[in-house]
Amino acid sequence: MSESNTQFENRKRDHIRIALDPRSQTEGQTGLDSIELIHEALPDLNFKEVDISTSFSFSNVSLSLSSPIFISSMTAGHEHGREINMALARLSDRHQILMGVGSQRRELTDSNAAEEWAQVRKQAPKARLLGNIGIAQLIKTPLDGIRRLVAATEAVGLFVHVNPLQEVLQPEGTSDFKNSLQAIENLVKFAGVPVIVKEVGCGFSVSTLKRLEGTGIAAVDVAGKGGTHWGRVEGYRSEESEMLYQVAQTYANWGISTVESLLNAEQARVSFEVWASGGVRTGLDVAKLCALGAKKVGIAKPFLEAALSAHTDADTALENLLNRLETELKIALFCTGSKNLAELATKKVIR
């Protein structure tokens, strides 16, 4: 049975509310505490020379970005999410950072849902948006339908999120994942934009990363354990007396950490870019992940909290957050003697 619009709206409100609940966080499980950047007491550069700019280049897309930080996918397709996405897109527009949109699943069955992006684009015409569809929907949807999602957002790339644990714990979930790899390969040929495969908080193993080699994807966002855990989120949507709530407790710490997932990508020797997200909270976290090989680093919960800030307007809160994150990142480069991100990734600055 398909979801009604009311059920969909309620599910998305639940997701936002529960994602901000501390119980949904696998705090301390990213692996970042085990990584230390080595202090350089005599950096041979001036702080103003530190450059954290990067680019997103693949096939027919070449974009300059102010930093490797991107806004991770959060929510879409409902009225409450529209204001959040507008604020986030305005930030992307002003600073030329990538922004992943929330799942566009609803647009596959509701033609009016795409209107959200028309409104977003009016306020943020230069935002660097990445579309988003779940693997379960990709398998069952004709490719022209997926291309409409890309067109609706005027996306510069497309996330395909893979989330088996979330789907089996979600009462409305779709857990048919058979033929996933073939669906990704077919999408790459016809999407017209770079395709990025991402988890939603449970990470990637070496073997899965190797299976994605040769599909033609631009990148994988390993999205490891350590931040918002969508198995926990779905569990908390059920009552304590219900089976799905109880099963979710069993799997509350399931997954591969963000750091381990990055190390798995190194071991797999993949040719596509490796991005990282999952429990990233500071610019120092970003620096550690870049030093480990991540080309882009995604952040979700802090951006969501800023967009919903009750103490100041969303634009100001988001500006302050991004400024802090980028300043922290620059300081990490300066204090390791790294002039840019390439030096951070190639010099021996991690212990």
Looking up residue 230, the CATH number of its domain turns out to be 3.20.20.70
What residue numbers bound the domain in which 171 lies?
5-346
pLDDT score recorded for residue 113: 85
Could you give the CA distance from residue 151 to residue 147 in angstroms, rounded to a whole number? 6
Enter the tokens of residue 205.
């193993």
Distances from the Cα of 104 to the Cα of 7, 36, 232, 323, angstroms? 16, 38, 22, 29
pLDDT score recorded for residue 11: 65
- Give domain status of residue 351, yes or no: no
Could you give the CA distance from residue 343 to residue 334 in angstroms, rounded to a whole number? 11
- Give domain status of residue 89, yes or no: yes
pLDDT mean for each 10 residues of the chain (351 residues): 58 80 94 96 98 94 97 76 91 97 90 88 96 96 94 96 96 93 97 97 98 97 97 93 96 98 97 98 98 98 90 92 98 98 92 84
- Give domain status of residue 324, yes or no: yes
pLDDT score recorded for residue 9: 61
Q: How many domains does the chain have?
A: 1
pLDDT score recorded for residue 1: 44
pLDDT digits (tens, 9 = 90+) for 186-197: 999 999 999 999
Residue 57 pairs in a beta bridge with 62
pLDDT score recorded for residue 109: 86
Closest by Cα among 150, 96, 105 to 128: 96
pLDDT digits (tens, 9 = 90+) for 107-157: 998 888 888 899 999 999 999 999 999 999 999 999 999 999 999 999 999
Closest by Cα among 82, 74, 124, 123 to 100: 74
